[in-house]
Structure 1
Amino acid sequence: MSLSPGGYTKNFRKRKQDCRSHELEHKKTVPYNVEMKDCKIVVFDIETTGLAKTDEIVQIAAACGDKSFDTYIVPKKNMSEAASGVTGIQIVKNEMLVNKKAVITVTPREGFISFLHFLKFMEKPCILVAHNGNSFDIPRILELAKSVNLMKEFMMFVKGACDSLHLFKCILIDRKKEKLSFKQSDLAIKYLDKHDVKNAHNALNDVLVSQKLLNKICKDKTILVENTKSIEFILSSKARLQKTKECKQSLLNLKLSNQMKGKIAKAGINKAILQEAFKTGGLAGLTILLGENVNNKPRVTTNKKIIKSIHDYLAEPNETSKLPVTS
């Protein structure tokens, strides 16, 4: 399929997408009031144009029981050489090839809507499981949901997400103690039969292997549920991390260790808040701000040397000129 569809095709696709999106929103069959322990377990995997956070998803695959899903998504940019070497996915003359065979591709929105329809077919909310999901698959699938404006619909069908890498480390305690590999390919060699192990780095093959590993290693669903994070928690954690990053960025010039700057930032305190406390109360204001008792612990620190260092920095002439003006 061409990577650059004509105007008629684009318009047709958009009408089709709008229709399917409307169906997702207004013909709900998935109940909201389902506990995690009663959710369906859906193993999923993605392949991307590269390993950077900005790289695009080119394949989504999933499986639940004997049902499976697989779709290829046309990217806006080409595959990196490294990603092509690992996945076998190439873009050649406006066609996507997988192991040198042409495959049908869809737009990101079409692919994601198809994925949602697969999840809807489960008739219960799902827990998505991916190996190394916390670092790779889960943030990227959430970013795709956001980019195609379907996060609300995604959260209708997905209750939480679990990283099977972390889950297996909780279960296989001796393997962790011995510092053995938890790569999916190594786990498959150890715990699965040879005929169960398929080519790695194709999303559908990885999903089927991951599903077999999950069934073999995690026989108690309770443990999986205990290691599942709700989508709401994941999204709020992402927002908190972004706020912490922004706060820490504003503290770069403070003469403090990176660890202390990080601690101040995690408390939600940026330079502007420090400046306001300094302006209104000087050393005492900073002491109250940083040392306030929160759950029987200082919000940040009660160390007089650290607080004095912040005070002295904010008292420098070039900093006092930047203090906020109050009416």
Structure 2
Amino acid sequence: MERSKGKFVSKKQGLKKEICLKNRKNTTYVYENVPERRIVDLRHFGRRYDSYWDRTLSKQERVQAELRKTCEERMELTTEHIAEEKARDLCAQTQKQEPVQPELRTPVPEMQLSSSCEDDQISFEEAMEILENAADDTDDRLVYEQMELLKNCDMENSVIVFYDIETTSLDASAEIVQLSACTDSSCFNRYILPHRDFNRKSSEITGLTVEMINGLRSLCKAGKTLPSTTLHAALNEFIDWLNSLKYEKVILAAHNGKSFDMRLLIQAVQKEGRLNALSVSVYGFVDTLHMFRSVRTDKQSLSLANYYRRVFHESFDAHDSSADVSALMRLFNHEKLNNKINEFILKFRQAVSYLENVKVVKGNRNEIQSLMCGDKKVISKFMAHKIAESGLPYNHLKLAFLTDSFDGLKHVLSEKVNGRPRVTNRVSVIESMNLHFKAVTL
């Protein structure tokens, strides 16, 4: 698509009310009578698209480009590292000193997560659906296309660390109250005193409460006080424990971790300023729920408690994270999934980018639902979610309408992506949105 520094290119110089865009199939679209104020920079969120209809590259091509960029960044770091080592060696020879040995690993540059996630609330029922595997995440396709490119990565000198987290609630503002992890030879478990009290239903599930003991807030279970620490101290101890394993590649595995445990852990280390330290210690993340799906063709529940009961014909103390990780490790070893682990790894940097993108999609979804799924229902909530996932925020839909009314909406919603409509080609849906924008722009 022709553009200049992210801005639309007019068909003729000086003609600001006619826009000519050309896609990779050399199909030219001309939009007339476009107000000058609408010819704006539309570089898109998430670094995926440059304009609101620019999705001509396939997902596989975008993933390959992202991985190439990551490799180039690592090559630059490696080149700088080699140059520094040569300079140190030269200095050492001149001063007859021993050369400084290079570090084995270079810390990942500090990555920031949007703080807007704290405002993104979900209901208890929605969270329970996630935990009970009632529905898949619809953005799994992009993540697993990324994972497909990592199948041949070297997994020597690696260890799988099974981890689990218990929280005060199941929404986005939940606080971690228990962090547990284990390998075949070592275990880690810490209780954390939260700043806020427990959600009632979450307290019923975990059995944990916050009580006043001798005038002090204390974490309790079944009437007994538990030894607890602060979140910052617990995360530091967890990172130190991971480093003590002395493996080059530490892979964190959790059941339904991509939707819950991984998100909460990354948010917590970001909040405590320890994201960079964790990125040095951890190679990547694995969601065992997706691994179990690959070997279990029956459509029965794959929640940890139900799956464990079907396989071993016994139960365990579910929703105690130390018991959960032991049960998960036993199931994992029973299914003999070690040889499939590299097919499902999400590297640390990709995990952070994935969570950032999820938050943007949720923000766009909430905005579209609030404006188009209220009392005057324009589209269904499912359709609003599809639109948000396609990379279209509400303002871009409005701009498409102002560009060419019904045809503008039809173009961005039904353009072909890998042979399928980007969102939908149903005329009734597009016409309903067209009437909505006519009403709000009058």
Q: Which residue of 2 aligns with 1:89?
A: 208
Letter paired with 1:205: A
Q: Secondary structure at the match of 1:44?
A: strand
Write the distance in 2 (CA, Å) between the matches of 1:103 and 1:71: 10
* Residue 185 (structure 2) pairs with residue 66 (structure 1): yes
How far off its partner does 1:295 sit?
A: 3.4
Q: Which residue of 2 aligns with 1:107?
A: 230
Note closer, same or farther for the CA distance 1:97–1:264 as it changes in structure 2 (3 Å cut).
closer
Write the distance in 2 (CA, Å) between the matches of 1:313 and 1:84: 44
RMSD over aligned CA atoms reads 3.2
How far off its partner does 1:100 sit?
A: 4.2
Q: Which residue of 2 aligns with 1:320?
A: 441
For each residue in 1:236-267, what CA deviation from the matched residue of structure 2 results, as whole angstroms up to 9, or x when unmatched?
A: 33333332333334433372343433332222
Note closer, same or farther for the CA distance 1:29–1:90 as it changes in structure 2 (3 Å cut).
farther
Q: Is the Cα contact below 8 Å between 2:283 and 2:348 reproduced in 1?
A: yes
Write the distance in 2 (CA, Å) between the matches of 1:297 and 1:183: 33
Percent sequence identity is 26
More helix by share: 1
Write the distance in 1 (CA, Å) between the matches of 2:205 and 2:385: 36
Q: Which residue of 1 aligns with 2:294?
A: 170
Q: TM-score, normalised by structure 2?
A: 0.56
How far off its partner does 1:74 sit?
A: 1.4
Q: Which residue of 2 aligns with 1:224?
A: 341
For each residue in 1:63-120, what CA deviation from the matched residue of structure 2 results, as whole angstroms up to 9, or x when unmatched?
A: 1221111111111023345444444433331233344444332211111111111112
Q: TM-score, normalised by structure 1?
A: 0.73
For each residue in 1:211-254, what CA deviation from the matched residue of structure 2 results, as whole angstroms up to 9, or x when unmatched?
A: 2222122x242323323333334333333333233333443337
Q: What are the within-5 Å matches in structure 2 for residues 111-126 of structure 1? A: 111-122=234-245, 123-126=247-250
* Residue 261 (structure 2) pairs with residue 137 (structure 1): yes
Q: What are the within-5 Å matches in structure 2 for residues 251-262 of structure 1? A: 251=368, 252-253=371-372, 255-262=378-385
Greater Cα offset, 228-237 or 36-45: 228-237
Q: Which residue of 1 aligns with 2:140?
A: none
How far off its partner does 1:189 sit?
A: 4.6
| Structure 1 segments (4+ residues) deviating >6 Å | 31-34
Q: Which residue of 1 aligns with 2:351?
A: 234
Note closer, same or farther for the CA distance 1:304–1:117 as it changes in structure 2 (3 Å cut).
same
Note closer, same or farther for the CA distance 1:158–1:36 as it changes in structure 2 (3 Å cut).
farther
In structure 1, stretches of 5+ residues that fail to align are 1-26, 322-327
In structure 2, stretches of 5+ residues that fail to align are 1-101, 109-149
How far off its partner does 1:147 sit?
A: 1.7
Q: 1:278 aligns with which of 387, 401, 405?
A: 401
Q: Secondary structure at the match of 1:206?
A: helix
Write the distance in 2 (CA, Å) between the matches of 1:105 and 1:302: 55
Q: Is the Cα contact below 8 Å between 1:243 and 1:268 reproduced in 2?
A: no
Write the distance in 2 (CA, Å) between the matches of 1:99 and 1:36: 46
Q: Which residue of 1 aligns with 2:418?
A: 295
Q: Is the Cα contact below 8 Å between 2:193 and 2:218 reproduced in 1?
A: no
* Residue 391 (structure 2) pairs with residue 268 (structure 1): yes
Q: Is the Cα contact below 8 Å between 1:30 and 1:125 reproduced in 2?
A: no
